[in-house]
Chain A
Amino acid sequence: MIAQPEALNFECETGNYHTFCPISCVAWLYQKIEDSFFLVIGTKTCGYFLQNAMGVMIFAEPRYAMAELEEGDISAQLNDYEELKRLCTQIKRDRNPSVIVWIGTCTTEIIKMDLEGLAPKLEAEIGIPIVVARANGLDYAFTQGEDTVLASMAARCPDRSPVAEAEKDERNAIAKLLNFGRKKEEVAAAEAEYVNHPPLVLFGSLPDPVVTQLTLELKKQGIKVSGWLPAKRYTELPVLEEGYYVAGVNPFLSRTATTLMRRRKCKLIGAPFPIGPDGTRAWIEKICSVFGIEPKGMDEREAQVWENVEDYLQLIRGKSVFFMGDNLLEISLARFLIRCGMTVPEIGIPYMDKRYQAAELALLEKTCHEMGVPLPKIIEKPDNYNQIQRINELNPDLVITGMAHANPLEARGVSTKWSVEFTFAQIHGFTNTRDVLELVTRPLRRNNSLKGLGWEKLVQEEAKV
């Protein structure tokens, strides 16, 4: 079948859809940035969400807490500054973090609490940097919370390389990691392995092993990663000078990208995202092309990864997958799964930044044409009720969905996978291709093993929805 060379079709349903609140980013960012403390300034509803959704709230007093607004705060009888000072002083005393990140919420938006105005004053008074991120559910969905935090942190990156060698050592934690256990001369020799190019900083929060993997992939091409935003420690935030190059690893970081370009005058490398071997390759190649480097060994590298996952591909080839939309990773995942041989009728997504995702969208289009499959419909802010009607019509082999719909869909004989798992799993780079497919194929493998039992639909009457 030859696909129609039509263009991608975007729709905005502005519907009622389910996603996680963006303040959930706290759950992974506090673990990523080891010397941080996150203070979510909101209501009981926010706290209850964190407590239940993340299951982490505070069994061991992790490095985040709620500043729970009470009636007096909301009716402005209490002084915001004094209240926040009291809490932050306590946090400083008990935990002594290198940075306190204030996470704004819907409530601070609605009551117009001037967090940005209060922070610098308090920061000066208590002597701990305070970063303000307004990760509220009025403006953002799920993973965009990370975007708000990184955009604010981008403003805090040092703007000049430190002169002293010793300090440089400390800043350049990744280089240190890569050079671990080597002698000085070897390090110098290692430096020579790099091509001479303008500094490159990557942004997006990834688990440390993935950071290392991607850094090494670029190193193979002679590209040196000068730093990551965020780093493992707040005190190791990368230097950002005017003219530095930056590249994102996640599709939900459009504000961070804009901040880096506008406020820090960095040059953004717009590439598809390093998810799946196809995306990872495109990402590396794009970075290489910007630096005028001829990428080496990409064909073999990609081919080898595909070969390694052939057993999984056999399970999904020719099958269809429907994205209800939750975490903004949808376009990248759909593009990868189409490359794997699946078809995608619909991609729901909470927010579609066509500029920041331009290269990813182009790759999606190209992939569809090359694989000879129809282009997916992209539905921004989908309406879950309508989607369920469409799922009933289309009868896809797999639905990637938020947690609220998984069990009811399963009960109706529709295989599902939680979108949230892709948010927390390691899915980036060549190395983790198998992990993504592991997730995608699990319901299908489970079905295969349950097939003999003939338990298809587990709801009695044909329910209305």
Chain B
Amino acid sequence: MKLAYWMYAGPAHIGTLRVSSSFKNVHAIMHAPIGDDYFNVMRSMLERDRNFTPVTISSVDRNVLARGSQEKVVDNITRKDAEERPDLIVLTPTCTSSILQEDLQNFVERASLEAKGDVMLADVNHYRVNELQAADITLRQIVQFYIEKARKGGTLPEGKTEKPSVNIIGISSLGFHNHHDCQELKRLMADIGIEVNEVIPEGASVHNLKRLPRAWFNLVPYREIGLMAARYLEQEFGMPYVDITPMGVVETARCIRQIQQIINQQGAGVNYEGYIENQTLYVSQAAWFSRSIDCQNLTGKKAVVFGDNTHAAAMTKILAREMGIHVVWAGTYCKYDADWFREQVSEYCDEVIISEDNGAIGDAIARVEPAAIFGTQMERHVGKRLKIPCGVIAAPIHIQDFPIGYKPFLGYEGTNQVADLVYNSFTLGMEDHLLEIFGGHDTKEVITKGISADSDLGWTKEAQAELNKVPGFVRGKVKRNTEKFARERGLAEITVEVMYAAKEAVGA
């Protein structure tokens, strides 16, 4: 048992549902107690989906527990098959119902006899993997299912597309800025003369999955979702894949160069250097911004980065390489893929942190007192309490990650967005915090030890007045540094004198 207050990655079934519901005309049946169908709310509310979420709960209650669930699950699958004629029905338990250890594969087989569409059980170990891993697994499973089906039916198309082409793999429902990223990637591909063969799973039809091998290569923009499918396709068809996240000017260029190499190996004969140079120097504002006087003022400022592997790694590189910002530590909650993260960021930060414990992350932030944080909604909140601005760069997903306007993180437009985010975080961050995004659930008395802002030290009236003169966005820091100074010297009261002594001592 562990005492948990917050989780960065959700449970496995969320990942499965994110993938299944991204496809067009795929329905999921969730075999679970009634309170577990919260996914529908997230889809409907966060994505502002106009359609009913293609997920139906086949609820497990006392009756079902007593009588066994087979009949009910099979009924619900065949019923949905008849009602909406989905191409595919994916059955998934949640971690709760998977404890029942039923033979769900058998349920699926029985339902398949009657259903017109395909039926499959999401093959995920709910005890062992989280949302991101499950999404990756489910996507591979669905791809494999349809490739094998086509192979058996002899409908697998032969050969490649005439022009160089790509499958973009891993764009999914409830993904962090996925829709805008996808648009930007399509634009990028169009710019460099590459046709988009398929985008999966978002908006894709399972019938088209057999066409995947026709593309010249696969692009997997996110480390978390899509790699398994890409590796499967590589293994089956020898399809190469590019897994460099095109985020930031340098990595976008590296991604394009790898694409160039891959398609040239297949006889394309392209040279993208001119394009990269033009985009970098004249189209994207990010490179210019890095040289501009605005950014000069950011040089050497301290920042910390935390998020999923994809975004935390990319952000660390951008800050360190492209903006000259000092990344004190970079961290990820993707514990299962920690080696990759370490390898990616080690040279760009002083310390690497791998943790799923939001408390530990909060403490790590408090410990280094950075000038800005780039993290998840959780770190944003920590920042709010420490009065440190925070730019949100990664899931857990939040309504703010579904802006109405165009805000990609990838590609050249993404570089502009990220530059804005960085600049605003360092300068305007504090104003943003006034927005009170989380609606006042914050009860004042409860503050963890690690990031405690309350003090046991007395401030004289004058010192307090002096403190109040300090601009809001550094006040917390001055206060903490002064108190630290006083505590170290065993002073019980903080006077104006102590304050200024502290300022001199620690440069607060």
Judge whether B127 and A59 touch: CB under 8 Å. no
Judge whether A404 and B448 touch: CB under 8 Å. no
Judge whether A16 and B441 touch: CB under 8 Å. no
Contacts of B51 in A (CB 8 A): 408, 411, 459, 463
Judge whether A63 and B1 touch: CB under 8 Å. no
**Bound complex: CA of A402 vs CA of B4, how far in Å?**
27
Judge whether A66 and B4 touch: CB under 8 Å. yes
Given A60-B442, A463-B51, A74 and B5 contact (CB-CB distance below 8 Å): no
Q: Which 6 A-B pairs have the closest CB atoms?
A: A21-B35, A137-B35, A58-B5, A411-B50, A137-B33, A404-B40
A242 at the interface (CB under 8 A from B): no
**Bound complex: CA of A141 vs CA of B5, how far in Å?**
23
B38 at the interface (CB under 8 A from A): yes
Judge whether B446 and A19 touch: CB under 8 Å. no
A36 to chain B, nearest CB (A): 13
Known: A59-B438, A465-B52. 9 other contacts (CB 8 A): A20-B38, A24-B35, A44-B95, A60-B443, A87-B3, A105-B96, A107-B96, A136-B33, A141-B35
B95 to chain A, nearest CB (A): 5
Judge whether A49 and B127 touch: CB under 8 Å. no
Given A16-B76, A51-B7, A60-B441, A138 and B45 contact (CB-CB distance below 8 Å): no
Contacts of B60 in A (CB 8 A): 106, 138
A194 at the interface (CB under 8 A from B): no
Q: Which of A66, A95, A405, A407 has the most C-beta atoms of chain B within 10 angstroms of its own C-beta?
A: A407
* In the complex, chain B residues 445-459 whose Cβ is within 8 Å of any chain A Cβ: 446-448
The closest CB in chain A to the CB of B29 belongs to: A16
* In the complex, chain A residues 25-55 whose Cβ is within 8 Å of any chain B Cβ: 41-49, 51-53, 55
Q: Total contacts A to B, CB within 8 angstroms?
A: 187
Judge whether A19 and B34 touch: CB under 8 Å. yes
In the complex, 8 of the A-B residue pairs with CB atoms within 8 angstroms, ordered by the A residue number, are A18-B40, A45-B11, A53-B38, A58-B5, A60-B446, A66-B4, A84-B1, A408-B52
Number of interface residues of B (CB under 8 A): 63
Partner of B11, one of A44, A62, A139, A407: A44
* In the complex, chain B residues 116-170 whose Cβ is within 8 Å of any chain A Cβ: 127-128, 130
The closest CB in chain B to the CB of A403 belongs to: B41
Partner of A139, one of B13, B61, B76, B96: B61
Judge whether A43 and B446 touch: CB under 8 Å. no
Contacts of B94 in A (CB 8 A): 43, 45
The closest CB in chain B to the CB of A15 belongs to: B59
Judge whether B1 and A86 touch: CB under 8 Å. yes
B384 to chain A, nearest CB (A): 8
A392 at the interface (CB under 8 A from B): no
The closest CB in chain B to the CB of A107 belongs to: B96
**Bound complex: CA of A402 vs CA of B37, how far in Å?**
11
Judge whether A71 and B127 touch: CB under 8 Å. yes
Contact with B along A376-388 (1 / 0, CB 8 A): 0000000001001
The closest CB in chain B to the CB of A457 belongs to: B50
Judge whether A139 and B62 touch: CB under 8 Å. yes
The closest CB in chain B to the CB of A109 belongs to: B65
Judge whether B56 and A385 touch: CB under 8 Å. yes
**Bound complex: CA of A83 vs CA of B446, how far in Å?**
24
